[in-house]
Structure 1
Amino acid sequence: MSIQVNRLADPVVRDFVVAVNAHDTGAFNALLTPGATMADDGSDRDIADWTDREIFSSNGHMDIESESDGGRTLLVTFRNDTWGEMRTKWHFTVDGAGKISRFETGQA
């Protein structure tokens, strides 16, 4: 059973999921701080390259299974055209201005 995106506790994380699922790169990039960082399975990656490859050019989609840490950590069924469907965990660091300064994802 999944959580409806509009019910996610953290508004910035909610907007992130909406942007990913809509393949809206403009809205996605607007959520990030300048110099934002990310990691995939524990390895730092270039955000622009990774998100283009894993999300935007491959029809990435997030179905939220559960949330914790006030909505800053998500358990997600993620799917894209490259890898198919996988269970992943996402953790977000949000700054005081409501922008994402870092996110980490990986197999759950």
Structure 2
Amino acid sequence: MRRARDGYAYQPIPKVATEDAVAHENDQMAEELSGKISTLKHMSIEIGNEVRYQDKILRGLDDDVDRSSGFLGKTMGRVLRLGKGNHNYYVFYLFLFAIFVFFLLYIVLKFR
């Protein structure tokens, strides 16, 4: 503390001004926090919507795979039944057909 004789008069900081500054700073920080909380709320809602959308897509994909596996199982059963029949030439014809299809695809893709 300086003495009054040096030309400096001691003036303590008023408590009211300090309390007002602290209250003002707290209000500003509360507003910033409120803005951040609302942003986080919006983001969490959007994440929830995206999760529900992705879940819906995955359920549809699961249903499609189940249907495809059923169709493939039936087809394989028919091929096995065809192979067990008395006409073994069907397997040979199937093999020739597969070679023809691959050759046709090769030509189409080569001259594209």
Would you call these one fold, judging by a TM-score over 0.5?
A: no
Q: What TM-score do you get using the length of structure 2 for normalisation?
A: 0.18
Larger relative contact order, structure 1 or 2 (CA cutoff 8 Å, min sep 6)? 1
TM-score (norm 1): 0.19
Higher fraction of strand: 1
Higher helix share: 2
